[in-house]
Amino acid sequence: MSWENSGLPMDNHVHTEWSWDTPGEASMARSCEQALAVGVPSVAFTDHLDFTTWTDGDRISTENLDPHRYSRMHPLDVDGYLATIHECRQRYPDLRIFSGVEIGEAHMWTASASAMVAGAQFDRILGSLHAIPFDGRLTATDDLFRQLPADEVMRRYLGEVVQLIEGSDLFQVLAHLDFPRRMWPYTAGPYEERAFETEYRAILRALAASDRILEVNTKSPLVSTELVRWWREAGGRAVSFGSDAHQPWRVGDKFKLAVDIVEAAGFRAGRDRFDFWRV
Ligand SMILES: [Zn+2]
Ligand SMILES: [Zn+2]
């Protein structure tokens, strides 16, 4: 299916075999084939840029937090990743392929992250928060739900997202702004965005003030049109679509639904098909 027929936006958030948390089926080449099959005009391969050891100048070193949450975490092999990008660009000339990374906790890894980003000239840089300082460790959100009431986890997380935005200007797009919602326990009742409206609005204000972009993430439960309207009210001008695919079949997943939500909040396709959607 061609992009002209599909009307879908580009997928700005896709993981490949170069991310430390992808399964064996992950493949940049197969993700390109999927993009062509579903009709997204382009993909950005945004593999995880996570760190397990600090250098001088990283905030995490002064706070003395243990950062190593999962034994399988390892740094991105940027050269290997870029070589695969190059191969895929040769192999799929009809698909525009953007390079990129998803930086985890960029405000904690200021020095390490800027050193990586400065050398590589990525097309897309996503910022995300998967873990927050708690109990002397950078603690993963699934772990937090075992230790704190669910609404307390969300409040702490959403508060830390403001710290991330204000503490790092390395990234352009804020990925999955309410990531722990994926793990919201059913025992806590249905998840209600409005219960956290104050916290969401603080995030959206900080993001708009620094002229950055909100991602609508289709791996997370989809945000409401109301939340995307809060983004506009905060001064937000642009939205990015991201499947956060860790397997090729998920590229462009649920994009039609996401487009409906974003259009209902008043955003439209941008200047060209590789642009973000804008008001
Ligand atoms: Zn993420
Ligand atoms: Zn991701």
Q: Are 75 and 52 in contact (CB under 8 A)?
A: yes
Under DSSP, the state recorded for 55 is -
Q: How far apart are CA 116 and CA 138, in angstroms?
A: 21
- At residue 5, the pLDDT reads 55
Q: 241 with 217: CB under 8 angstroms? A: no
Dist CA 133 CA 117 (whole Å): 24
Distance CA 78, CA 47 (A): 9
Kindly tell me if the per-residue pLDDT of 264 is higher than 70: yes
In eight-state DSSP terms, residue 96 is E
Report the chain's C-alpha Rg in angstroms.
Answer: 18
Q: How many CB atoms lie within 10 A of CB 271?
A: 8
Least Cα distance to 261 among 237, 277, 275, 273 occurs for 277
Q: Which ligand is nearest to the CA of 243?
A: 2
Taking only the tens place, the pLDDT of each residue in 160-214 is 999 999 999 999 999 999 999 999 999 999 999 999 999 999 999 999 999 999 9
Residue-wise pLDDT tens digits, 33-43: 999 999 999 99
Residue 3 has pLDDT above 60, yes or no: no
Q: Are 209 and 248 in contact (CB under 8 A)?
A: no
Give the torsion sign (CA, 250, 12, 219, 51).
positive
Which residues are 214's β-sheet partners? 174, 239
The yes-or-no verdict on residue 6 having pLDDT over 80 is: no
Judged by its nearest atom, the ligand closest to the C-alpha of residue 127 is 1
pLDDT tens digits along 10-22: 999 999 999 999 9
How many residues does the structure list for the chain?
Answer: 279
Residue-wise pLDDT for 53-69, tens only, equals: 888 889 988 887 887 77
Across 217-243, average pLDDT:
98
Q: How far is the centre of ligand 2, averaged over its atoms, from the C-alpha of 45 (Å)?
A: 10
Beta bridge mates, 245: 14
Token reading at 279: 């008001």
Rounded percentage of the chain residues whose pLDDT exceeds 90: 85
Q: What is the mean pLDDT of the chain?
A: 94
What is the tens place of the pLDDT at every residue in 80-133? Answer: 999 999 999 999 999 999 999 999 999 999 999 999 998 888 999 999 999 999
pLDDT at 175: 98
Ligand found nearest the CA of 242:
2
Confidence of residue 7 (pLDDT cuts 50, 70, 90): confident
Q: Which residues contact 3 (CB under 8 A, 6 or more apart)?
A: 39, 40, 41, 273
Ligand 1 center to 40 CA (angstroms): 21
CA of 275 to the centre of ligand 1 (A): 21
- Cα diameter, the chain: 53
